[in-house]
Structure 1
Amino acid sequence: MNARLDELEAKLTLAEDLLETLNMTVFRQQQQIDQLQAALRQLALQMQSGGGGEARRPEEEVPPHW
């Protein structure tokens, strides 16, 4: 009986550690998603406002085959 309890306690400890690891992974992924969404919003705003950069003249453009 004690061996079974020890085995169950060991499995429970491993399951708790795994759960904590998975929780931290999900937390970090959510932070990354939030950062990417903020960057995407920033890019969308730049696109709406005309690119956010200075306009180039056609002679300054490099041809696509270069």
Structure 2
Amino acid sequence: METIGKGYYRKESYEKVTGKAKYTNDFETRGILHAKMLEHGLLGMPAALGNSLSTSLSVSY
């Protein structure tokens, strides 16, 4: 157990501290279709049921 109580080097730590690390929000996602499922806060159930999905707007974009 020679690692207990000792620090260790992490490859990404320098980039995080200096602000050079890339996170998912740093990348531009222009032209990509995004979707989000809404849920009821307490029950974890969908807030509404969808019967169909129209992609005509996204296809014309």
Instruction: Name the TM-score class by shorter chain.
Output: under 0.3
> Which is higher, the Rg of structure 1 or of structure 2?
1
Q: Kindly indicate whether structure 1 or structure 2 has the higher relative contact order, using CA contacts under 8 Å at least 6 residues apart.
A: 2
- The structure where helix makes up a greater share of residues is 1
With structure 2 as the length reference, what TM-score do the two structures score?
Answer: 0.27
